[in-house]
């Protein structure tokens, strides 16, 4: 296994020229990850084919250069915070004080606001030991950053091992009571041929009995059973017909939070019947937002349903629902999020 760093380029933000570094690490089985310091962002993940361990193919959707990554609004591969997903009307109350956030997604607050964690240069250290390789990113979010109380220090650790497991661990500490919800926003396509194949023929399995119905992309507070609905993926299901049938978010496709039952070691599985690649995901988070790139409308490959994002996290708008897990971060109780994605082939 090996890890190395290099220059990736520069970008001008708010009249400041920011120099971006790239961290590349690969295991002994032909899997290779590339991250950049802008947004602690995964910009590439390549893997071998089933028949040729030396034939590297791209398994993510991304841009090869900085400017569209920063400006497109798709959150490609980035570490998202301070609060991933949406907060209704950009407001929440904590200990009797109401906080007002940017409404940067219609009427709602999305992925940390105008300048969330995805738009900062993160500091980093390389990780290189016998068990894993990777990068440890760090960032400090000041008190009232984007309207959130408390100075929060965040570590985002991304590693790869010889079990073909890509892992991330987010740890956050605050000097005062606040809210937190961090995730990664990589778009996956297991075909290895993203220019010609979308994910409609992929198979998705989600070990979940309930999902969160929403209005204006905000959960109603109800937990709805998936049985006899288009959200039942307890058995491996071809995505295409389901994506056409799910239309409640304004565009056909998934952009919904599923509740983890806690009974399965890897409750998420994505499979491509042509390449025979399989992605399995496990997380300590209570739910996962599944987003099938419904709103992408650029040139190929940045088109609708070209990829799927798996976003393990607290529920959307949790702070405004007493019956949801609460995303409270206390000074004496660090936030810890761990997720593992395992890659292999199936018959």
CA angle 78, 82, 87 (to 5 degrees): 105
Say if residues 276 and 347 touch (Cβ distance below 8 Å): yes
Residue 321 is a catalytic residue? no
Say if residues 221 and 323 touch (Cβ distance below 8 Å): yes
187 annotated among ligand-binding-site residues:
yes
Q: Which residue has the tokens 């570094």?
A: 21
Residue 109 is a catalytic residue? no
* Alpha-carbon Rg for the chain in angstroms: 19
Taking CA atoms, 251 is separated from 52, 93, 304, 310, in Å, by: 38, 31, 9, 18
Helix or strand run (H / E) with residue 64: none
Residue 213: exposure state from Cβ atoms within 10 A (0-12, 13-18, ≥19): middle
Residues 109, 185, 302, 305: which is the catalytic one?
185
Residues 34, 58, 146, 311: which is the catalytic one?
311
277 annotated among ligand-binding-site residues:
no
196 annotated among ligand-binding-site residues:
no
Say if residues 279 and 269 touch (Cβ distance below 8 Å): yes
Which of 291, 184, 178, 179 minimizes the C-alpha distance to 239? 291
Backbone angles phi, psi at 183, to 5 degrees: -150, 175
Residues 152, 206: Cα–Cα separation, whole Å: 33
186 annotated among ligand-binding-site residues:
yes
185 annotated among ligand-binding-site residues:
yes
Say if residues 89 and 96 touch (Cβ distance below 8 Å): no
Q: What secondary structure does DSSP assign to 85-140, as a single string?
A: SEEGGGEEEETTEEEE----BTTBEETTSTT-GGGSBPEEEEEE-SS-EEEEEEEE
Residues 117, 227: Cα–Cα separation, whole Å: 37
255 annotated among ligand-binding-site residues:
yes
Active site residues: 185, 311
Tell me the binding residues: 85-86, 185-187, 255
Tell me the binding residues for beta-D-galactose: 85-86, 185-187, 255
């Amino acid at each position: 296994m090996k890890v190395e760093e290099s220059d990736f380029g520069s970008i001008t933000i708010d009249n400041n020229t920011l120099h971006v570094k790239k961290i590349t690490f690969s295991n002994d089985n032909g899997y290779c990850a590339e991250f950049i310091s802008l947004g602690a962002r995964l910009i590439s993940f390549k893997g071998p084919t089933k028949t040729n361990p030396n034939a590297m193919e791209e398994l993510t959707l991304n841009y090869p250069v900085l400017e569209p990554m920063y400006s497109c609004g798709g959150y490609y591969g980035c570490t998202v915070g301070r609060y991933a997903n949406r907060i209704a009307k950009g407001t929440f109350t904590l200990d009797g004080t109401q906080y007002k956030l940017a409404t940067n997604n219609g009427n709602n607050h999305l992925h940390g606001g105008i300048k969330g964690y995805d738009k900062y240069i993160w500091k980093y250290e390389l990780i290189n030991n016998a068990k894993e390789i990777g990068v440890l990113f760090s960032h400090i979010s000041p008190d009232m950053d984007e309207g959130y109380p408390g100075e929060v220090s965040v570590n985002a650790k991304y590693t790869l091992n010889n079990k073909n497991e890509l892992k991330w661990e987010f740890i956050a500490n605050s000097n005062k009571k606040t809210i937190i919800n961090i995730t990664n926003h990589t778009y996956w396509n297991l075909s290895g041929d993203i220019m010609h194949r979308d994910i409609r023929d992929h198979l998705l399995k989600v070990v979940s009995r309930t999902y969160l119905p929403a209005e204006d992309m905000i959960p109603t507070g109800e937990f709805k059973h998936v049985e006899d609905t288009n959200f039942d993926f307890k058995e491996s299901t071809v995505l295409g017909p389901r994506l056409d049938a799910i239309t409640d978010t304004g565009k056909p496709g998934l952009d919904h939070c599923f509740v983890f039952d806690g009974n399965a070691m890897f409750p998420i599985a994505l499979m491509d019947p042509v390449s025979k690649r399989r992605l399995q995901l496990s997380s300590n988070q209570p739910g996962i937002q599944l987003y099938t790139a419904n709103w992408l409308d650029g040139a190929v490959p940045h088109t609708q349903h070209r990829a799927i994002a798996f976003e393990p996290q607290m529920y959307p708008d949790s702070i405004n629902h007493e019956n949801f897990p609460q995303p409270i971060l206390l000074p004496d109780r660090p936030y810890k999020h761990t997720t593992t994605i395992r890659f292999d082939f199936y018959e």
